[in-house]
Each structure stands twice: as C-alpha cells, then as structure tokens.
C-alpha cells in the first residue's frame, strides 16, 4: 500500500517554514542534538568504480519531498524519536488491507463477500479510537465497505500478486515497494491500490501519483509483462480512479523520483559524515510546515510544526461514510 503522507487525503506540502532554533521546546529532537551519533562508516567512491544506486521506496522519497525534518526522524535518527499516538484511520486502513489480502488467499469457492466481511472483523485493530463504541462503529462501516466492494469483484480473476514487492533499478536508484494488488488485464498488468480515507480520489490523483507510477515500472520489470495502468480503489465510496500512463509519462515519473532521490542521498551522506547536527541540522533537514503538520507523527519534537498547524484528535481522519 502506499502509505499516507501528511494525513488522510492530504497531499503535498505548503510553504517552507522557518529554521528551527536551538533551545525551544523539543529542540534537541528537532535539531538532532549537538553531536553526531557514533561515527558512521561513509563509503568512498573511487574513480572508475560503478556509482552505487540509492535504494528508495516511493514513501521515503515523498517523505523527503514533503518535509526533510520528518524524513530525518523517520529514516535516519536512531533510536527513532518517539511518535505521537496511533491514528484510528491507520487502524482502519491496515485492517481493510489485511482482510482483502486474506480474502484473495482463500480457495476460490470461499471467496464470498461474507468471508471478506468476517475477515475485517477478525483483523480489526483498536488503536487510535476515542472509545470502544467509536471503534465498533468504524469497524461495521469497514465491514460494509468490504462486503459491497467484494460484491463487485470477480473472485475468479486471480491476481498476479497480492501485497507483492516489486523493484526496479533506474539510472541512479533502486526503487521498490509493496503493491496491494497486481491484476492481469489481458496481456498487461494493472496496479491496484486500496484507499480507505476521507478523500475520494479521482483520475488526476491516480495519474499524478509517484508511487503508482513507480509500482507500474517496477511490476513491469519484476514480472516481465507490460504495465501502464494504475487504479485507486476507494472502499468507502466503491469508486475506482484509473489512469493509463504512456511510456513517456512513466519516464517522467522515474526522472522525478531520481531528482528527489539525488537530494535525499546528498542529505543522507551529510548526515553520515556528521555534517547535519547542531546548528547545521536545519540547513540539511529543514522543516517544511503546512496543514499536514497536524498529521505528523513527530510534531511533538517540532516547534515549527506545532506553531503551523493545530493538534488534532487521533480519530480525526476517520471516514464519516
Ligand atoms: S511537524 Fe511539520 S515541519 Fe515538523 S517535522 Fe512534522 S511535517 Fe515537518
């Protein structure tokens, strides 16, 4: 699945925020402290040696793009700064994804909508809800979504992959990710991504998604079949937002991933050399504030993010449908 970045339905980031200063609340975590962690081995590149490809997932690249400080918390600082409380909408999403994967693992004759509904109840997670009643109401909504969705799915259309990891090298990256479902459509493949958030995606969302384009290219490489179609299946509304990429469109997306990856790799290297700590932390990993700061798992460590967007309840992202 493509992990949500910046909360349910939130895309992109707003304007750049101010540089974090030392001494404010949470400033140690925000700046990564005054000293680098234990010395790290930094691989040197020798003349004539092949350049090492930078391994990345779409989620990692988009986290860097949205907010370098959040990227640092998520991928570099170890131990990882403690996250905020779990989100109820993430519990819903995880349960629905697990249930649908379980459903496809059933023998054909058992793939009924009722079996999918039972799987949601079995896979339910209770983290992030206000109370038991809210959790139960959300669970029954999700049960209904899955039942109605599976009523429109052909159980005999065996997917090529479910929760399948795919990868591909590019000129500078090794891109990988796990796809919710890969369907065979004639001789070609289609990427299927389940969505459970409040936002009902449209064709523009499917077409502009970096993650879906990367999955299409990686599925083509991994499974050795053409793949240009990407689909967002929104469970709360039962709608499908689809886009068919051209080869040129996919190439542009890969170039976009390479551009983001080059910036992230430079920041990773600076971090490994100990050049992104203390007063230099925000030059390499600046906070980028936006309304998405309300949804950031590390806002408690980020004074700029706290100032930019209000704190919200862990269940604020639940779909009302
Ligand atoms: S709260 Fe906002 S600015 Fe701070 S790390 Fe999170 S996303 Fe970045």
Output the six-digit token pair for 311: 């704190």
- CA 163–ligand 1 middle distance (angstroms): 29
Residue 36 carries which DSSP code? -
Residue-by-residue DSSP string for 207-248: HH-HHHHHHHHHHHHHHTS-EEEEEEEETTTTEEEEEE--HH
The pLDDT value recorded for residue 319 is 85
CB of 55 closer than 8 Å to CB of 312: no
Return the residue whose CA atom lies nearest to atom 4 of ligand 1.
305
Mutate to test the pocket of ligand 1, among 70, 75, 292, 312 (most ligand atoms within 8 A of CB): 70
Residue 281 carries which DSSP code? H
Q: Which atom of ligand 1 is nearest to the CA of 292?
A: 7
- CA 150–ligand 1 middle distance (angstroms): 38
Residue-by-residue DSSP string for 181-199: EEEEETTEEEEEEEE-SSS
Q: What is the mean pLDDT of each run of 10 residues along the chain (321 residues)?
A: 38 30 31 43 59 95 98 98 98 98 98 98 98 98 98 98 98 98 97 97 98 98 98 98 98 98 98 96 98 98 98 94 78
Quote the distance between the C-alpha of residue 154 and its chain's center. 28
Return the residue whose CA atom lies nearest to atom 5 of ligand 1.
70
Enumerate residues lining ligand 1, CB below 6 A. Answer: 17, 67, 69-70, 287-289, 292-293, 296, 298-299, 302, 304-305
Residue 224, number of CB atoms within 10 A of its CB: 8
- CA 3–ligand 1 middle distance (angstroms): 17
The pLDDT value recorded for residue 25 is 29
Residue-by-residue DSSP string for 104-155: HHS-GGG--HHHHHHHHHHH---TT-SSHHHHHHHHHHHHHHHHHHHTTS-T
- CA 268–ligand 1 middle distance (angstroms): 18
C-alpha separations of 100 from 21, 122, 293 in Å: 46, 12, 31
Output the six-digit token pair for 245: 């990429």
Residue 317 carries which DSSP code? T
Q: Which atom of ligand 1 is nearest to the CA of 66?
A: 7
Give the list of residues 6+ apart from residue 296 with CB closer than 8 angstroms, or none: 6, 67, 70, 84, 302, 305
Mutate to test the pocket of ligand 1, among 13, 292, 303 (most ligand atoms within 8 A of CB): 292
How many whole angstroms separate alpha carbon 207 and alpha carbon 64?
A: 21
- CA 33–ligand 1 middle distance (angstroms): 17
- CA 300–ligand 1 middle distance (angstroms): 9
- CA 238–ligand 1 middle distance (angstroms): 32
Mutate to test the pocket of ligand 1, among 295, 300, 304, 312 (most ligand atoms within 8 A of CB): 304
Q: What kind and span of H or E run contains 249?
A: helix 247-272
Mutate to test the pocket of ligand 1, among 13, 25, 67, 294 (most ligand atoms within 8 A of CB): 67
Burial of 79 (0-12, 13-18, 19+ CB in 10 A): exposed
Backbone Cα Rg of the chain = 21
The pLDDT value recorded for residue 267 is 98
């Amino acid at each position: 699945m493509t992990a949500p970045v910046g909360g349910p339905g939130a895309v992109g980031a707003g304007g750049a925020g101010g540089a974090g200063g030392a001494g404010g609340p949470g400033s140690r975590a925000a700046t990564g402290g005054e000293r680098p962690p234990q010395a790290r081995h930094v691989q040197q590149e020798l003349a004539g040696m092949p350049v090492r490809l930078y391994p990345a997932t779409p989620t990692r690249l988009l986290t860097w793009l949205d907010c370098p400080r959040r990227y640092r918390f998520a991928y570099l600082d170890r131990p990882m700064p403690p996250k905020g409380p779990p989100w109820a909408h993430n519990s819903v999403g995880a349960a629905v994804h697990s249930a649908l994967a379980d459903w496809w693992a059933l023998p054909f004759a058992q793939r009924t909508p009722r079996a999918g509904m039972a799987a949601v109840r079995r896979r339910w997670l209770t983290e992030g809800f206000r109370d038991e009643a809210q959790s139960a109401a959300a669970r029954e909504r999700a049960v209904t979504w899955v039942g109605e969705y599976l009523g429109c799915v052909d159980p005999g259309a065996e997917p090529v992959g479910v929760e399948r990891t795919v990868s591909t090298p590019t000129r500078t990256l090794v891109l990988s990710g796990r796809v919710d479902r890969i369907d065979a459509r004639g001789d070609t493949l289609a990427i299927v991504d389940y969505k459970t958030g409040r936002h009902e995606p449209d064709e523009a969302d499917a077409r502009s998604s970096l993650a879906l384009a990367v999955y299409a290219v990686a599925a083509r490489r991994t499974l050795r079949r053409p793949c240009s179609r990407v689909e967002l299946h929104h469970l709360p509304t039962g709608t499908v937002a689809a886009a068919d990429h051209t080869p040129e469109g996919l190439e542009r997306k890969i170039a976009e991933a390479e551009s983001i990856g080059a910036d992230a790799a430079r920041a990773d290297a600076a971090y490994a050399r100990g050049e992104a700590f203390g007063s230099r932390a925000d030059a390499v990993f600046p906070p980028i504030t936006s309304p998405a700061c309300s949804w950031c798992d590390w806002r408690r460590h980020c004074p700029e993010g706290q100032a930019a967007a209000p704190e919200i309840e862990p269940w604020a992202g639940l779909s009302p449908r």
